[in-house]
Amino acid sequence: MSNKLFYREQAARQQADADAATLDNVRDRCQRAADAWTLLAERIERADSLRAARDAEDAPLAVANPQLIG
């Protein structure tokens, strides 16, 4: 299981707990946890996107000069 999938599942679980909570402090705690898990997933997705873009830019260079990549 990838980290971003795990983080998304945790965010969903915490959001469900927040939605079901009857106490304000529990609802707030679960909502903060859901927000934190979501932020972690978004950071990983952004890093993956930036890495893919960088790798796509480096691909022609790797073909032309394989000794430069490594």
The pLDDT value recorded for residue 2 is 83
How is the chain split among helix, strand and coil, in percent rounded to 5? Answer: 90, 0, 10
Q: Return the pLDDT at 11.
A: 98
Count Cβ atoms below 10 Å from residue 14 Cβ, excluding itself. Answer: 20
Cα(30)–Cα(21) distance, rounded to whole angstroms? Answer: 8
Q: What is the pLDDT of residues 4-39, one digit of tens each?
A: 999 999 999 999 999 999 999 999 999 999 999 999
